[in-house]
Structure 1
Amino acid sequence: MALHTLDNGILRVSIESRGAELQSLVDSVGTELLWQGGAAWGRRAPVLFPIVGQMPGGVLEHDGIDYPISQHGFARDLDFTASEATDDRVLFTLEDSAETRTHFPFSFRLEIRYSLEGTTLSVETTVTNLGDETFSASVGEHPGFAWPLLPGIEREAHTLQFARDESAPIRRIFGGLLLPEPIATPVVGDTLHLDDGLFVDDAVIFDQLESRTVRYTAPGAPVITVDFPDFPLLGVWSKAPGEFVCIEPWFGMTAPQGFEGEYSAKPGQFTLVPGASRRFAYAVSVDSVE
């Protein structure tokens, strides 16, 4: 494992080669904006691939064979190779191996590029099918931001403000799988008020989003803007007593309750024919409090 630090004089970020996982996001005044791990949740910003969420029974079925696969897939636990490193950008690459093929029986390349420009951290994830068989997959981002953003600010003062009004129902999970019934959204207009009670039933899942931008802030706190143009879904999650909130752009989500059969039939995935690639971008912009 190795830690790679990018610094453009405005933002400083650190990324661990294990999982290509963001470890730190520090703004221009020295405020750490990323959750630093703890008993409630030991991770900070894992990359989710080749699944988001869970498969029933923890298995992926392909051509009648069951392959064991853990929640959110295996990429977050494997060592990536770093290259093209400069002061403000770095590329991480993971390719399939004998180990990965025991869980996901396909040949792939997963590339994750981090870059800094001004007050923005951009993350581009590219999946390429290196094999001779079409496969389906999901990709998700899982950054956990500090909640509260600054000491002394009440947790309940924090909000997520969407670019548009979000009146559509949300989804919930039970036992790691998607419940069939949509439920009324907790968003009022364009604003989701954060409190611990929101996450008693696990993540809040937005699967009918109008927005592709959300702002996370509180009075007197920095503003974190997350743009996710290539992701149709968003999960918002926390777990008491952790002082974090995860803002999670997804392409794909956990399997529905009752799902069985061929993995490729799981709803919400993207599909790559041999030789094809697909790119997913998101960005985190920071407006600091001086």
Structure 2
Amino acid sequence: MELIAIGNEQVRVTISPLGAEMQSIVTSDGQSWLWDGDEAFWNGRSPVLFPVVGKSPHDHISLDGQSYPMSQHGFARRSDFALVESGEDFCRFELKASQSSRTIYPFDFTLSLEHRVVRRAVVVTAEVHNSGHHPMPFGIGFHPAFVWPLPGSEGQAHRVVLDNGGSPELIRLSGGLVNPAPLPSPFVDGALTLDGQLFAADAMLFPDGAGAGLRYGTAEKAIHFTWENLPNLALWSKPGAPFVCLEPWHGTAAEVGGSDDLAERPYAEVLGPGATGRYGFKVELIG
């Protein structure tokens, strides 16, 4: 599929209509900051997660007592979006409910994704609109993967430092579902030094307390990553993989032994008829 390129004299970004997924972030010096999707590790780059985040029990959800198949992280990331507006430094894609989507998620919706380059930053904004006549439960999240180490920072320790200086409780996944038992925070005074073994037990989830921003990288080279209307944070990689995902979410996987009802999932969002929800993140490149 033909990629859409946007940018300015400092940063260039490409986006694919498949999933409206960002494919690259390249600065004017030729350095690439976004993971390249090498299938040897993980072929994603920056997918949007909708209408669920994470796994569902037996890969099914229930809505009003009826069961529907639902794959991990939902169907938006594997759907073709329509380009509805673009300019030199921005583009906006839309995914609307279809006959096919209604067989697994019986709601009328529009999911729009805008990418915009502002100086040395990329701003990604999602809007979910309920165009139907019934309350619409869903989860939404972002899954951007950044190179680890960052360009020119090989051999240097990389840290994640929360803007709020907090030490949020950690929870883990079991079989892809949330084990709600809290674990001690790996953050000390808001800081965590990354190590591949942190991800030996899959993603690290912080349902509360991570705030709305962090700095990832080294003292000289970093990303200031902030997010809007997304209360949950996950960090994920694979042991030995040269990327780390910074994932702000509104909604998580279902809990182990919990309900398969989508509206009852932790932090599920519910929009009333005609309502619109707005969510997003910003990637500011430093150094």
Partners in 1 of 2:151 and 2:271 — Cα distance?
Answer: 43
1:41-97: CA deviations, max 9, x gaps?
111111000000011110011232211000000000000001221110000000011
Matches within 5 A, 1:1-290: 1-38=1-38, 39-150=40-151, 153-154=154-155, 157-220=157-220, 222-288=221-287
AA aligned to 1:175 is G
Contact 2:32 2:151 in 1 (8 A): no
What's the CA shift for 1:32? 0.2
What's the CA shift for 1:144? 0.3
Partners in 2 of 1:224 and 1:151 — Cα distance?
Answer: 13
Partners in 1 of 2:130 and 2:184 — Cα distance?
Answer: 38
Normalised to the residue count of structure 1, the TM-score between the two structures is 0.95
What's the CA shift for 1:267? 2.2
Partners in 2 of 1:253 and 1:154 — Cα distance?
Answer: 34
What's the CA shift for 1:152? 6.0
Partners in 2 of 1:54 and 1:148 — Cα distance?
Answer: 29
What's the CA shift for 1:151? 5.3
- Where 2:182 maps in the other structure, the secondary structure is coil
What's the CA shift for 1:223? 1.4
Structure 2 vs 1, CA of residues 263 and 152 (structure 1 numbering), >3 Å: closer, same or farther?
A: closer
Normalised to the residue count of structure 2, the TM-score between the two structures is 0.96
AA aligned to 2:138 is A
Q: Which runs of 5+ in 1 are unaligned?
A: none
Q: Which runs of 5+ in 2 are unaligned?
A: none
What's the CA shift for 1:282? 1.2
What's the CA shift for 1:218? 1.8
Task: Provide the alpha-carbon RMSD of the alignment.
Answer: 1.3
Partners in 1 of 2:88 and 2:19 — Cα distance?
Answer: 20
1:103-130: CA deviations, max 9, x gaps?
2111100000111111111111000001
AA aligned to 2:17 is S
Partners in 2 of 1:11 and 1:189 — Cα distance?
Answer: 32
Contact 1:60 1:104 in 2 (8 A): no
- Where 1:99 maps in the other structure, the secondary structure is helix
What's the CA shift for 1:241? 3.3
The alignment of Structure 1 onto Structure 2 pairs a total of residues equal to 286
Partners in 2 of 1:240 and 1:87 — Cα distance?
Answer: 38
AA aligned to 1:194 is L
* Percent identity between the two aligned chains: 37
Partners in 2 of 1:243 and 1:113 — Cα distance?
Answer: 27
Structure richer in strand, relative to its length: 2
